[in-house]
Structure 1
Amino acid sequence: MKDKARIAGVGMLPFTKAGRSAPYDAMAADAARQALADAGLDYGAVQQAYVGFVIGDTTSGQQALYPLGLSGIPIVNVNNACATGSTALFLAHQAVASGLVDVALAVGFEQMLSGPLASPFNDRPAVNGRLNAMVERVQGWDAKAPIAAQYFGGAQREYQRRHGMPDEVFAMISVKSRRHAARNPLAVFREPVTVEEVLASTPIFGGLTKLQCCPPTCGAAAAVIVSHDYARRHGLLARSVMIAGQALTTDGAASFDGLNMIDGVGADMTRRAARAACAQAGIAPDELDVVELHDCFTPNEVISYEALGLCPEGGAEKFIRDGDNTYGGRIVTNPSGGLLSKGHPLGATGLAQTAEIVWQLRGEAGERQVPGARLGLQHNVGIGGACVVTVLAQ
């Protein structure tokens, strides 16, 4: 592993239901302060900052960070769909690993509205035009159903046609997520549910029910990235976590040309990003101890198991039924509760996943600690599209 950049500090606010949070700028500034305090650094040490959000206006990043200090540093505002937070991390990592700066800050936040995601624009082409055209060819278009649910509900039906996995196994993912979230005071939904309750909840699209869909939530998270030399000079090596590998991918032809809902919702991007990140780190997926993956809907957790290489293609049902995705199994997946239970404030999600992996590798995750965790992976995907996979090592 090339030890060029390290995460020296992380911060995360408890996620809340839409409409119940502090204003976006207060949340983002608080998360940044937490990350800096965790690293033992002042804002004056930061040489560049990357601030991610999806629902916001122009220089919201400056609005969030100016209260920390008017240092005049570059502040870059980042929007890359649901992969926004980890894209901010990707850019901060590049700045440090390239030797351009020694200290960079990545922040992600979202102040969301209740209800399904929708574009505020009706006077211009949709950002997902190619994907929507493919979806309409494959399964038709339901003007009354939430758009994201059509994407992932369609991917679930395709997976079931290929591999025959029953609805109850998808529901088991929600049950596992709530069980993990019960140990996480930063998660929104911590009450246990049963398979029967998941399947009986409100139908959304296809086999998807309400308890298999992540909620719109508000929150913020942040990370401080430093060079290895800076960490050594300032006594930060012991608590910092190495970024051992990282890749950002966008859609290839497989997302659209294969008339394949599974690749359409990000499996191909995930597969390529995971291979690249693991190759950089010099590890195989089966060496991982803990994973935070993008479970916006239960089908995406299933698809991501296979695309990340955690189990073979068609092997997700056995992986789930054997408990290999939880404590006592092979790879503890989403110990935080994941997007399904922790919540999914779009711009904050990737950095919240990163914070969880850092805490796990430091042994600071409390009741949800994965015993002996030394190697973790963070996976964040956005339709439109972008995917970031980061391998972290202690």
Structure 2
Amino acid sequence: MGAAVIAGVGMVPFTKPSAGARYEDMAAGAVRAALADAGLAYTDVDQAYAGWVYGDSTSGQAALYGVGLTGIPIVNVNNNCSTGSTALFLARQAVESGAVQCALALGFEQMTPGALATAWTDRTSPFATFDATNDRVQGPGDGPMAPRYFGGAGRAHVDRFGTRPETFAKISVKARAHAANNPYAVFREPVTVEQVLASPMIHDPLTRLMCCPPTCGAASAVVCTPEFAARHGIDAGVVVRAQAMTTDTPGTFESDDLRKLVGADMTHAAARQVYEAAGVGPEDIRVVELHDCFATNELISYEALGLTPEGTGEKFVEDGDNTYGGRVVTNPSGGLLSKGHPLGATGLAQCAELVWQLRATAGARQVDGVKLALQHNIGLGGAAVVTLYEKVG
């Protein structure tokens, strides 16, 4: 059927949980923005995929009913932190297969303050095997679940390659510098390396300012066929060139490498599939939105995505190759560290940023000469989605 067209994108400004935004209001705002961007009505949409992590069943219907009651299929999606890109993955498949002409992907999250936790205590946790592996490698410990995972992964990189705390701190500084130009981001005030290192230690080597905050927000994308775009006068200049989703393999749990436990192998496999399908390499990429839930994971992801060889992530940061003026601009939006991380919305917020980059409408965040843009979104439990967008025409 040809490459799926990203007809429209939209999002609402991300906020702290204390702002009190309701998920259905945020979701409706993001969907209306995406439809307006595409020049479409909700009645033009054939199917919708609505993603969220913390909420009751059929929250997707509640979110979309505020936009319209058209009777179309609404599929609820929950794939942990990769939920938004999973919704996009399904919408893109539906369009490319010819099952529908136009599909909507939506991601939203109404979060509460504090660290992430599982919702159910009377049944086996989906993280049971992950927890057992983490405890075997690091030893049992208290403290928030996610920092233990990603702090342990950062420690694995430190132990193997000698990565310094200052390097992780520079990633957080870079995130704030990029977010300063993003009106959708939560944390736009600059920070220094010294401030990042002096913030409270959460799980070595992670300090508080190396960790993403709980955030509320929503983002959406409209995906259609080239033929549908032509009939409706839609700008078909941004397409999905390639996309891959991967899940865990035995190596995740057998290697005793916490970088793999948090998704490095899934990321590497998905990226390899995307590069091979598109006939490009990481050297062709100039802008990336990647999953920087923690500063340690941003550095690990540089290597997993092939942006720099394994073990050279620190040099990549120190040389400034991860920002403007360097080899590839990573997270021009400010990323999860500074834009915020409303779990269900993150993947589609990444999509929106990269579409704006490819359209050259990103304002002060604009990366020069963007033809290809790479997106990386992971969810523990686990799934990794890597998407390559292309500017055509």
So what's the TM-score if we normalise by structure 2? 0.98
Conserved? CA contact 1:249–1:387, under 8 Å:
yes
Alignment equivalent of 2:367, drawn from 367, 370, 374 = 370
Alpha-carbon distance in structure 2 between the residues aligned to 1:282 and 1:98 = 21
Deviation at 1:234, TM superposition (A): 2.3
1:53-64 counterparts in 2 under 5 A? 53-64=52-63
Aligned positions, number:
391
- 1:334-382 deviation line (CA, Å, top 9, x unaligned): 0000000000000000000000000000001011100111110111001
Q: Does residue 328 of the first structure (1) align with residue 310 of the second (2)?
A: no
Equivalent residue, structure 1, for 2:18: 19
What residue identity is the alignment partner of 1:160?
V
Alpha-carbon distance in structure 1 between the residues aligned to 2:37 and 2:197 = 41
Alpha-carbon distance in structure 2 between the residues aligned to 1:380 and 1:372 = 24
Equivalent residue, structure 2, for 1:5: 4
Alpha-carbon distance in structure 2 between the residues aligned to 1:223 and 1:118 = 28
What residue identity is the alignment partner of 2:226?
H
Conserved? CA contact 1:178–1:191, under 8 Å:
yes
Q: Does residue 179 of the first structure (1) align with residue 177 of the second (2)?
A: yes
Alpha-carbon distance in structure 2 between the residues aligned to 1:393 and 1:72 = 33
Deviation at 1:18, TM superposition (A): 1.0
Equivalent residue, structure 1, for 2:289: 292
Which residues of structure 1 form unaligned runs of 5+?
none
Alpha-carbon distance in structure 1 between the residues aligned to 2:97 and 2:64 = 24
Alpha-carbon distance in structure 1 between the residues aligned to 2:352 and 2:257 = 33
Alpha-carbon distance in structure 2 between the residues aligned to 1:213 and 1:141 = 21
Secondary structure at 1:68's aligned position in 2? coil
Alignment equivalent of 2:231, drawn from 227, 230, 233 = 233
Equivalent residue, structure 1, for 2:118: 119
Deviation at 1:235, TM superposition (A): 2.4
Equivalent residue, structure 1, for 2:215: 217
What residue identity is the alignment partner of 2:300?
I
Q: Does residue 146 of the first structure (1) align with residue 144 of the second (2)?
A: yes
What residue identity is the alignment partner of 1:15?
F
Equivalent residue, structure 1, for 2:45: 46
What residue identity is the alignment partner of 1:94?
Q
Conserved? CA contact 2:24–2:66, under 8 Å:
no
Q: Does residue 162 of the first structure (1) align with residue 164 of the second (2)?
A: no
Deviation at 1:120, TM superposition (A): 2.0
Conserved? CA contact 1:245–1:279, under 8 Å:
no
Conserved? CA contact 1:11–1:35, under 8 Å:
yes
Alpha-carbon distance in structure 1 between the residues aligned to 2:115 and 2:21 = 21
Deviation at 1:230, TM superposition (A): 1.3
- 1:103-148 deviation line (CA, Å, top 9, x unaligned): 00000000000000011211111111111111111111212x1111
Equivalent residue, structure 2, for 1:103: 102
Alpha-carbon distance in structure 1 between the residues aligned to 2:233 and 2:120 = 49
Alpha-carbon distance in structure 2 between the residues aligned to 1:274 and 1:14 = 29
Deviation at 1:21, TM superposition (A): 3.8
Which residues of structure 2 form unaligned runs of 5+?
none
Q: Does residue 275 of the first structure (1) align with residue 272 of the second (2)?
A: yes
RMSD: 1.0
Report sequence identity in percent. 62
Alpha-carbon distance in structure 2 between the residues aligned to 1:236 and 1:21 = 35
Alpha-carbon distance in structure 1 between the residues aligned to 2:389 and 2:2 = 11
So what's the TM-score if we normalise by structure 1? 0.98
